[in-house]
Structure 1
Amino acid sequence: MAPNDQDTVEAYLDRLRSAWDAADAKAYGEQFAEDASYVIFMGDALFGRAEITSTHRDVFEKWQKGTRMAVKAIEVRDIDSDSVAVVTVGGIGKGKAIPYDKLQTFILRSREGRFECVAFQNTEMSRRTKKLHNES
């Protein structure tokens, strides 16, 4: 998609993973556009960086305390010269090996040479898809 002075999808996902692993809601929220939409697998929708950040403070302090993230891009498609659609497999856990149990779609836009997410959708995997992506 982008010239060499641009961000990469892998670097974006690394920033997202690092923020999650550090339980840093501010750094996690900074990976999303000011007006981003964020739909979780349970069916809740968050709108805007402030709500994403605020909600993840609770996520990191309560429901997912001490967890780490696994995430890997399985498809990247250019939308235009500044945007890509990325499908990932991901998981959250506390063990050494974190199994993939979610499919996510990210719409990433390059702003000032760095990707930010403008729309995120997280969906639980079917048993068939879990088996496909977790076999070694």
Structure 2
Amino acid sequence: MRQADSQRDNAAIRALLDQLAEAWAGGDGAGYGAAFTEDASYVTYVGTHYRGAAEIGAAHQALFDSFLKGTRLTIEADDLRFLTDDVAVLVSRGATGKGRPGKPDKIQTWTLVRGADGEWRVASFHNTRHQRLMEGVSFRLQPATRPAVGR
């Protein structure tokens, strides 16, 4: 991939993440779901698996109308890699909360694809809670488990 294309695609993917955060803040389930492919796979940190943009949007609307009402989403990109011109993998850290979310307490893995229309969308998403205490214990008891990537 040419450098100029990589920069443009990087910016487009970051704009997609901003779109997700804006839809979340607005309590807009359909807008949130629109960032995903029709057959997307979405796994929440509690293990719920949603399939497809429509189901992801509908489930999030129910959440925005209840448990997640008035919350905001923070997404901090950690590692964005382009596997091909039309496929990228992103590892991010995130948080949700009322007002300004605190320190990211979840880690997400995203597979992003460029559609025939040239737009990037999320094909798969997996979210897990970052368990800092358990991680710290693991690193202390077995230092070889600490990843090389600085955190």
TM range (shorter): 0.7 to 0.9
Equivalent of residue 49 in structure 1, options 50, 53, 77: 53
Return the alpha-carbon distance in structure 1 between the equivalents of residues 81 and 44 of structure 2. Answer: 22
Tell me the equivalent position of 1:10.
14
CA contact (8 A) 1:33 1:116 kept: yes
Return the alpha-carbon distance in structure 1 between the equivalents of residues 23 and 54 of structure 2. Answer: 16
Following superposition, the deviation at residue 114 of structure 1 comes to 1.6
CA contact (8 A) 1:102 1:124 kept: yes
Question: 1:49-95, CA deviations, whole angstroms, 9 ceiling, x for partnerless residues?
Answer: 11111101111001100000111100011111101000010000013
Q: Secondary structure at the match of 2:69?
A: coil
Matched, 1:60 2:39: no
Tell me the equivalent position of 2:143.
none
Return the alpha-carbon distance in structure 2 between the equivalents of residues 33 and 96 of structure 1. Answer: 29
- What TM-score, normalized by structure 1, do the two folds share? 0.88
Return the alpha-carbon distance in structure 2 between the equivalents of residues 42 and 99 of structure 1. Answer: 19
Equivalent of residue 103 in structure 1, options 107, 116, 127: 107
Amino acid at match of 2:77: A
Tell me the equivalent position of 1:30.
34
> RCO higher in 1 or 2 (8 Å CA, sep ≥ 6)?
1
Amino acid at match of 1:125: H
Q: Secondary structure at the match of 1:63?
A: coil
| Number of corresponding residues | 132
Following superposition, the deviation at residue 33 of structure 1 comes to 0.1
Bigger helix fraction? 2
Q: Which runs of 4+ in 1 moved over 6 A?
A: none
Amino acid at match of 1:53: G
Unaligned runs of 5+ in 2: 136-149
In our comparison, the structure showing a higher alpha carbon Rg is 2
Matched, 1:126 2:134: no
CA contact (8 A) 2:72 2:101 kept: no
Bigger strand fraction? 1
Equivalent of residue 118 in structure 2, options 105, 108, 113: 113
Query: Are the structure 2 counterparts of residues 91 and 97 from structure 1 closer, same or farther at C-alpha, using a change threshold of 3 Å?
Result: closer
Q: After superposing the two structures, state which structure 1 stretch, 104-113 or 25-34, moved more.
A: 104-113
Return the alpha-carbon distance in structure 1 between the equivalents of residues 52 and 100 of structure 2. Answer: 32
Tell me the equivalent position of 2:84.
80
